[in-house]
Structure 1
């Protein structure tokens, strides 16, 4: 398992936990659905990266991370809040950086 794959696994788990947190704190069903959905897609893409479809998993991870970054960055223009906006911006940027560092995949 590469560092990039591990980072995306952790990122996916944190995104899913963020959705659960959003539901628990604000009773937000959209946060629950979007958080768990994005988290499952990210974990699935990390699994694809581990199982030989590195480029497919890489692209899926990158698209999801960019979408999450855009969503939370746009929302922060209205009113910046550390939770969840600031944390998700930092996590998304970290995931994108890790993806760009690990672009070529294992052994490249």
Structure 2
């Protein structure tokens, strides 16, 4: 299993769990929906990458990039490390792993 698959799967699990926690703590339906959708998309992308589907890598890259931007803006707006700062940092790491793997394959 490649490191980019692990990164996509792990970040997807974190996004999914984060959405549930956001709903439980703040009763935020937006957190639940966005965390669930983005988390499931990343988990599916990791699964399709595992199956050898190239578009799974592209999907994981796009979803992760969007999440990094969203959490980055939220971090600037709220100036709170949890959850925006943590998810931004973890997203940048995951994005770096994914891009590195895509470059290495070319």
TM-score (norm 2): 0.93
Instruction: Give 1:40's aligned residue.
Output: 40
Cα distance between partner residues in 2 of 1:88 and 1:15: 8
**Partner SS state of residue 23, structure 1:** helix
RMSD: 1.5
The alpha-carbon deviation at position 77 of structure 1 amounts to 2.0
> Contact between 2:9 and 2:43, CA under 8 Å: does it hold in 1?
yes
Pairing 1:66–2:70 present:
no
Paired residues, number: 106
Residue 52 of structure 1 aligns with which residue?
A: 52
SS of corresponding position for 1:24: helix
Moved over 3 A (4+): none
Unaligned regions of 5+ residues in structure 2, if any? none
More helix by proportion, 1 or 2? 2
The more displaced of 93-102 and 76-85 is 76-85
> Aligned residue for 1:3?
3
Would you say the 8 A contact 2:4–2:98 is kept in 1?
A: yes
Consecutive unaligned residues of structure 1, counting only runs of 5 or more, are: none
How big is the shift at 1:79? Answer: 2.1
Alignment TM-score, normalising by the size of structure 1: 0.91
